Structure 1
Amino acid sequence: MYAARLTDHGGPDVIDRIETDRPEPAHDELLLEVGSAGVNPVDTYFRDGSYEPVSLPFTPGVDVAGTVVAVGGDVEGFETGDRVFGTGIGNMSFQGGYAEYATIPTDRVVHLPDDVDTTQAGAAGVVAVTAWRALIGHAGLEPAEYCLVHGGSGGVGHAAVQIAQAVSARVITTADPSYHDRLRDLGADTVLDYRRDDLADAVLEASDGGVDVILDHRLDDYLQFDADVAATSARVVGIGENSPDPGFTNDGAARSKDVNYQFMSMFNTPDLRVPLRGVAHLMNTGKLSIEIADSYTLEDAGEAQRAVLEDSFLGKLVIEP
């Protein structure tokens, strides 16, 4: 089989398409013929050494969707021919989805409904589970509440907009104007240019004076902003990369409103199958669509990793072996 693999840490050019042996599933694993694998910023951290793999060579790609072609000896509930999707994030021995075949533990995959597109499913894992855990698990978002999603055009952002809409929240998001119409199509009630000088006033106007739930991927930029636009007892969930210096210029705004701040990482998800099943249901009922901005071959995996960090697009990039 062929895989896009790195033998050393470095820039995107360290990823090469190589021919290698097809893996065998361990006792608790599935062997998948890969249909698609999402391209996530976390994949680039394994490549550059920020998150060091257990051993090199290493195949990136924490997200995957495909068809089961073999099952481990202790596996129950799956059989050859099943379509599945999931994410290997949190399992440091997972050799990823940038390959024609990949093995994955059964506690990180669920069945894929017949009508759900494999390409979308391969891109869903990290972004949709993150959005689900943030809004449903941590924030407890309820119908009719105002929900602010910073960066609605991003992978997590555009999934969060749809998940919030699916629970009948009133969704406010920020994005470049070129993405506003599509985000409204995906369920946002209000879409604002994140660069506008009066953004806080615009959010307060759109939320009748304060937002109940905020999903924030850039706390170093928006920690004070979140406090300023929050309603009383608002819940702010922080995700994304490490913030170099998050801090308040006036924490009185947060204290006076009893704002609750929750920081989260997908690595701490108790059982990935729970949010994955929720995501599968939303995709199957048409309430969640993972937007595919571009698709790459194994030969172009390095370019895909460059693009995920440097280019502007709505949704997700995928590798299709």
Structure 2
Amino acid sequence: MLAYGYQKFGGPTVFEELAQSQPLPAANQLLINTLAVNLTEEDRLERLGTIQSITLPHIPGHDVIGRIVKVGTAVTDFDVGTIVAARTNHTYAEQVCLDSDLAVTVPTDLDPVTAVSLVTPGIIAYKVVRYFADVQADQTVIVKGAGSPVGLLIIQLAKRLGAHVIAVASERYASLIATLGVDQFVDYQHQNPVHVLADRGDVVINVAIDGVGGKDDLAMAKFDATIASFAHHLPATSKSIRFQAIQPTEVISDQAALQLLFKLLDTGQLTTTIDEQLPFNLTGFIQGHQRLDEPHVGQVVVAR
């Protein structure tokens, strides 16, 4: 069985084929033949060696769609042949073992490439909107980093709840964001969002890398606003802000989030953006990570 990983950190060309023994599922696990893998920013950071918990050699990957080929003896709610999605570990491989309680059945009308592009971005976006930011109808919601895969989904989920959504992103995302029904777009390259949006937000959601610009978030927020951000903290302020640092949580499970997101995607109430689809081989993973290192719009998917 082939997997794709690396024995040293560095650029995309560190990837190589890594022969692995045939995986066998434990009692509570599923064995799947991989159909599609979503390449994420987390995968890229692991490859660069910036995540200290990663040991070498390493098979990266977290988002996977696959067809079940074997079920563990204790598994009763999945059958061989079912196509499932999961957020797990070490998914850059022809076969993946995963705990059955991580798996979600993919609707039959969803193709694997579209479905896998929703896994990590969708889970984060759903938890941000429904838990960290707790978006309500008629609120003004400002989304920074709106052109990212997570940001694009946050826009759609907040609009579904009846919020007035303002997107902050660079000009190259303007046409895509306009198709999502956003109420206002602010191009930070040509406008100063702090001036345009001062004291406007009931909710400010910052999903830019590392949640940069905390002072700007405060300036755009109303006196008693909620700010949800990838940042760990905010600068001091006299405003009565409810601050939520976006981080992993099981208050809403990944499985519950994915089940709802797949229903929305399957019924045309949610869309994802694929930047590039590449073949499931060594060249595909190298090219995929080269794309991750460049400016891109949407998800990079490797699929069979």
Same fold (TM over 0.5): yes
Matches within 5 A, 1:77-92: 77-88=77-88
In the TM superposition, residue 65 of structure 1 has moved relative to its aligned partner by: 1.1
- Residues 85 and 109 in structure 1, CA contact (< 8 A), matched pair in contact too: yes
Q: How big is the shift at 1:99?
A: 2.0
Tell me what 1:60 maps to: 60
Residues 220, 62 of structure 1: alpha-carbon distance in 2 compared, 3 angstrom cutoff: closer
Partner of 1:122 in structure 2? 116
Aligned residue runs from structure 1 range 35-184, under 5 A: 35-52=35-52, 56-88=56-88, 94=89, 96-184=90-178
Question: What's the counterpart of residue 281 of structure 1?
Answer: 263
* 2:266 matches 1:315: no
Measured against aligned partners, the alpha-carbon deviations of 1:23-56 in whole angstroms (never above 9, x if no partner) come to 2222222111212111111112332333356654
Compared CA separation, residues 224 and 50, structure 1 to 2 (3 A): same
| Of 152-161 and 19-28, the range deviating more from structure 2 | 19-28
1:31 and 1:55, CA in 2 relative to 1: closer, same or farther beyond 3 A? Answer: farther
Check if 1:305 corresponds to 2:286. Answer: no
Amino acid at match of 1:106: S
Distance in structure 2 (CA, Å) of the matches to 1:211 and 1:161: 14
Give RMSD over aligned pairs: 2.2
Structure 2: unaligned runs, 5 residues or longer? none
2:115 and 2:277 mapped to 1: Cα distance? Answer: 13
Question: Which residue of the partner structure matches residue 91 of structure 1?
Answer: none
Number of the residue aligned with 1:262: 244
Aligned length: 300
d(CA) in 2 for partners of 1:30 and 1:137? 30
Deviation at 1:197, TM superposition (A): 3.9
Q: How far did 1:149 drift?
A: 1.3
Alpha-carbon contact 1:146-1:171 (below 8 Å) kept: yes
Q: Which runs of 5+ in 1 are unaligned?
A: 89-93
Instruction: Report the alpha carbon displacement of residue 14 of structure 1 after superposing the two structures with TM.
Output: 1.7
**CA shift digits 1:221-270 (9 cap, x unpaired):** 3211111111232111112xx77xx753xx33xx33x111111223x335
> Please, what TM-score do these two structures have when normalized by structure 1?
0.85
CA deviations over 1:123-155 (Å, ceiling 9, x no partner): 212111111111111211111211111122212
**Per-residue CA distance 1:246-301 (angstroms, 9 max, x = gap):** 753xx33xx33x111111223x3353212122222221221222211002233231
